[in-house]
C-alpha cells in the first residue's frame, strides 16, 4: 500500500504582468465566470462542470466562493482570475493543478473569456505562472490541450514548452466523446518563457 502524498500549501500571491493582474477569484467575478463557462466555444473543449451537464449560476458561485480558493487551501494547487490591469475585468482563468508534491510536478490549465480571446492574454498569463512555478521549485510543468483545439495548443508552443506526444482518448467530453490530449512540458533546464 502506498503512503498518502504529502501536500503543501502554495503561497497566496498576486502576479502582475504588463497588461494583466492574476489574483484570487472574487464574488464580483461570478457573472463573468458564468458567461465564460457556459459559452459554446469553451464548452466544445472543456466539459464544465461535467460532461453533458449545463453550466449554471450555482456552478459559477461555487467556483468563485469554494472550488477555486479550495485548490490552494487543500494543497492541490493554485487558481487565479486573470484580469485586465486597467479595467480590472476578469478575462480568463489559469491554475497550477494536479500537483505531485513528491516529484514537484504540476499542470497548468486555463480558459479565456469570449470577450478576451485572441489578444495574447493567455500567453502572457502562462508565462507568468510558468516562471512563478519554476521559482517555487517545480521540476516539471505540463500543459495539456485537445489535439484539435489549435488555439489552446498555441499557448504552450509560444511559451517555450516542448511537445511530448498525445494521450489518446484521455478526456471525457460532451456526447460521450473522448478527446485526445496533446502533452507539452517545461523543465527548469529549458529556456525560461
**Domain ranges for the chain:** 15-138
Spatial distance between the Cα atoms of 108 and 5, rounded to a whole number of angstroms: 20
Q: Whose grid coordinates read 498518502?
A: 4
User: Residue range 168-175: average pLDDT?
Assistant: 94
Spatial distance between the Cα atoms of 170 and 45, rounded to a whole number of angstroms: 13
When pLDDT is cut at 50, 70 and 90, the band that residue 192 belongs to is: confident
46 neighbors 52 (Cβ within 8 angstroms): no
- The pLDDT tens digits for 23-70 are 999 999 999 999 999 999 999 999 999 999 999 999 999 999 999 999
Number of C-beta neighbours around residue 92 at 10 A: 25
For residue 71, CA distances in Å to 33, 147, 151 come to: 17, 26, 26
Is the full-model pTM beyond 0.85? yes
Spatial distance between the Cα atoms of 24 and 90, rounded to a whole number of angstroms: 11
- The pLDDT tens digits for 74-127 are 999 999 999 999 999 999 999 999 999 999 999 999 999 999 999 999 999 999
Number of C-beta neighbours around residue 19 at 10 A: 16
| CATH 3.40.50.720 is right for the domain spanning 15-138 | no
Amino acid at each position: 500500500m502506498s503512503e498518502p502524498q504529502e501536500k503543501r500549501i502554495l503561497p497566496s500571491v498576486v502576479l502582475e504582468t504588463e497588461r494583466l493582474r492574476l489574483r484570487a477569484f472574487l464574488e464580483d467575478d461570478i457573472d463573468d465566470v458564468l458567461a465564460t463557462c457556459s459559452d459554446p466555444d469553451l464548452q466544445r473543449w472543456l466539459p464544465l462542470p461535467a460532461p453533458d451537464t449545463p453550466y449554471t449560476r450555482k456552478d459559477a458561485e461555487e467556483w468563485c466562493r469554494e472550488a477555486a480558493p479550495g485548490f490552494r487551501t487543500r494543497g492541490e494547487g493554485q487558481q487565479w482570475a486573470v484580469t485586465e490591469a486597467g479595467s480590472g475585468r476578469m478575462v480568463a482563468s489559469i491554475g497550477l493543478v494536479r500537483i505531485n508534491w513528491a516529484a514537484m510536478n504540476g499542470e497548468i490549465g486555463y480558459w479565456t473569456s469570449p470577450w478576451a480571446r485572441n489578444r495574447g492574454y493567455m500567453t502572457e498569463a502562462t508565462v507568468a505562472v510558468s516562471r512563478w512555478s519554476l521559482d517555487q521549485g517545480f521540476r516539471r510543468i505540463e500543459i495539456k490541450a485537445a489535439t484539435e483545439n489549435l488555439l489552446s495548443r498555441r499557448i504552450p508552443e509560444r511559451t517555450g514548452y516542448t511537445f511530448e506526444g498525445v494521450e489518446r482518448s484521455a478526456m471525457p467530453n460532451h456526447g460521450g466523446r473522448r478527446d485526445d490530449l496533446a502533452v507539452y512540458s517545461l523543465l527548469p533546464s529549458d529556456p525560461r518563457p
